[in-house]
Structure 1
């Protein structure tokens, strides 16, 4: 696990997500402008993922605006070796999930609303 983190409760939520959903291999929380907040990673550079996730979400938001398809919920990238998902945590933070080919997408969809809610509360408590 990456040692770069600012809040152990955030990392505990990330670790629980990895342990609960089959195929989740890396998780990163970042600010909307791409700064690292917390990470549960083994094989990626969390600072790079944080910056790229902010860019991906920005492009996704612009696409949603330009196509009049409503507010953006997430950005999903499917690759030959797995999945990358960027999800908004409120208005100022992002959760990036990296999953392998066996990612349990249905299981992830069941637990992600609660996970986002937990992260949002923890981030609000840190800011307050």
Structure 2
């Protein structure tokens, strides 16, 4: 059974991504500080993924800056049987996608932009002015 952390509109977007892209198994939204915002997970500890995501993103952003790059878009890690993709939703939130070895990377690339836009819109509407 899938463990779902609250924030229904966010979870709906995460679920649609999991159901729409073959190989996506779990998704986590966290703050850039590593706090859990929402998750659709089964086999991982969402809070741990959130914390590790923030550390991964921070290190990758620093590496990109050192190499002369700007505006880090994503961090991708691939092990023998898993894909881990970390993406900036906006300047305050990150999306982590965990996928199995059969992840349809082409479908993920096609779906990721509208997914990030939807997440940003929801997160922005929840932020007090």
| Interval of TM-score (by shorter of Structure 1 and Structure 2) | over 0.9
Aligned to 1:67: 67
TM-score with structure 2 length normalisation?
0.96
| Unpaired stretches in structure 1, ≥5 consecutive residues | none
Aligned-residue CA RMSD (Å): 0.8
- Output one character per residue of 1:19-75: Cα deviation in whole Å (capped at 9) or x when no partner: 000000000000010000000000000000000000000001000000002321000
The runs of at least 4 consecutive aligned structure 1 residues that moved more than 3 Å come to none
TM-score with structure 1 length normalisation?
0.97
Aligned to 2:5: 4
Distance 1:31 1:13 in 2: 17
Following superposition, the deviation at residue 2 of structure 1 comes to: 1.6
Aligned to 1:32: 32
Aligned to 2:51: 51
- Aligned pairs for 1:1-128 (under 5 A) are 1-5=2-6, 7-128=7-128
